[in-house]
């Protein structure tokens, strides 16, 4: 070829005598970043699932600790593949509810029909579909991973949206999403916020617990009770000052959500008691940022 150019030739791994699913597993295990899901590390491979086979790869985000249950399929996707992927995701999230989990399908051929079916689950099941293509370039083979369906993410309902369209109550959070103990942690955080404004109250929405003031949404902080902990969200610009405060207090940050401009921090009862001063300071900063 002219100028040293070699045209890549797409090949099928499913029908290839040399390149197997194990070969693909090894590549992803050595460098999980090839999937384009962030800075991930390998937690396990061929992970035994009770009465459900083996999970190909379990990956984890190094910053948020979110876990990705990855299933590989050479060739095209099929019904058994998606069922297996969702089943493994469900097993892992039940075994380790302290983490966020996301199911990941990786296949050579992801058809539009398959995407239409899978999209019915997305929103209720965090699911990512990645198409994997193999190319022969001279004497070498390379893989290209393309995300064709991303996880559906819900953010906070803004004040100008009709939050009443998805109202709920305390019992919903105590029984379905969290527990009475983790909802009680939101009460304890509300007490700290009331030091700034005694008119604040908890407002129970379907996707989060926010704040209200005189019946109107006032969401400079919000809460998402889980079964074993409380996710506390503070609307603040990301800064070295805030990062240093959180790090010094040894609070566990799940992530900084760039889209919604908020810190997500995991709290247990001991954290609120031990780090009350830091939490009060962060609450004040979020409040001042909102009103300022």
Residues 7 and 143 reside in one and the same domain: yes
Residue 161 CB neighbour total at 10 angstroms: 11
The residue from 105, 122, 149 where one domain ends is 149
Residue 159 — pLDDT band, cuts 50, 70, 90?
Answer: very low
Query: What was the pLDDT predicted at 80?
Result: 80
Residues 243 and 106 reside in one and the same domain: no
pLDDT surpassing 80 at residue 147: yes
Residues 31 and 82 reside in one and the same domain: yes
Residues 229 and 139 reside in one and the same domain: no
Separation in Å, CA 74 to CA 112, 140, 155: 17, 19, 35
Residues 6 and 141 reside in one and the same domain: yes
Residues 15 and 107 reside in one and the same domain: yes
Listed range (30-44, 92-106, 138-152, 198-212) with the worst mean pLDDT: 138-152
Query: What was the pLDDT predicted at 190?
Result: 96
Query: What was the pLDDT predicted at 157?
Result: 42
Domain count, the chain: 2
Residues 122 and 191 reside in one and the same domain: no
CATH assignment of the domain containing 141:
3.40.1350.10
Kindly compute the dihedral angle of the four CA atoms of residues 167, 172, 173, 176, in this order, to the nearest 10 degrees.
Answer: -130
Residue by residue, DSSP assigns 155-172 as -PPPTTS-GGGSB--HHH
The residue from 108, 123, 149 where one domain ends is 149
Sign of the torsion formed by the C-alpha atoms of 4, 9, 11 and 17: negative
**Phi-psi category of 44—alpha, beta or left, where left has phi over 0 and alpha has psi -120 to 50?**
beta
Query: What was the pLDDT predicted at 289?
Result: 87
The residue from 149, 183, 207 where one domain ends is 149
Contact 263, 254 (CB under 8 A): no
Burial of 158 (0-12, 13-18, 19+ CB in 10 A): exposed
CATH assignment of the domain containing 276:
3.90.1150
Residues 82 and 173 reside in one and the same domain: no
- pLDDT digits 0-9 by tens, 166-199: 568 999 999 988 999 999 999 999 999 999 999 9
- pLDDT digits 0-9 by tens, 211-227: 998 888 899 999 999 98
Range of the domain at 116: 2-149
- Residue 51 within a domain: yes
Closest to 19 measured CA to CA, from 77, 76, 74: 74
150: three-class secondary structure by DSSP: coil
Share of the chain above pLDDT 70, in %: 90
- pLDDT digits 0-9 by tens, 54-73: 899 999 988 778 899 999 98
Query: What was the pLDDT predicted at 49?
Result: 81
Residues 59 and 126 reside in one and the same domain: yes
- Residue 155 within a domain: no
pTM as predicted: 0.53
């Amino acid at each position: 070829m002219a100028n040293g150019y070699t045209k890549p030739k797409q090949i099928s791994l499913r029908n290839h005598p040399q390149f197997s699913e194990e070969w693909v597993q090894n590549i992803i295990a050595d460098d999980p970043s090839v999937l384009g899901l962030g800075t991930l590390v390998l937690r396990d491979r061929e992970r035994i699932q009770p009465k459900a086979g083996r999970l190909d790869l379990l990956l984890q985000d190094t910053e948020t600790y979110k876990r990705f249950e990855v299933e590989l399929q050479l060739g095209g996707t099929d019904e058994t593949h998606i069922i297996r992927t969702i089943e493994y995701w469900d097993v892992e999230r039940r075994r380790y509810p302290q983490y966020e989990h996301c199911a990941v399908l990786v296949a050579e051929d992801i058809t539009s029909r398959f995407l239409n079916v899978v999209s019915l689950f997305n929103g209720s099941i965090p699911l990512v579909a990645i198409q994997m293509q193999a190319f022969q370039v001279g004497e070498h083979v390379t893989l290209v991973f393309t995300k064709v369906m991303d996880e559906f993410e819900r953010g906070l309902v803004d004040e100008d949206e009709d939050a009443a369209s998805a109202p709920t109550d305390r019992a919903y959070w105590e029984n379905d999403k969290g527990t009475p103990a983790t909802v009680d942690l939101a009460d304890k955080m509300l007490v700290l916020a009331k030091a700034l404004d005694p008119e604040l109250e908890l407002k129970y929405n379907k996707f989060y617990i926010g704040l209200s003031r005189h019946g109107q949404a006032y969401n400079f902080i919000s809460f998402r009770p889980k079964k074993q902990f409380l996710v506390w969200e503070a609307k603040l610009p990301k800064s070295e000052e805030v990062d240093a405060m959180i790090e010094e207090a040894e609070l566990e940050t799940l992530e900084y959500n760039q889209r919604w401009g908020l810190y997500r921090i995991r709290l247990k009862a001991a954290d609120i008691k031990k780090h009350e001063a830091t939490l009060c300071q962060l609450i004040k900063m979020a409040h001042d940022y909102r009103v300022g």
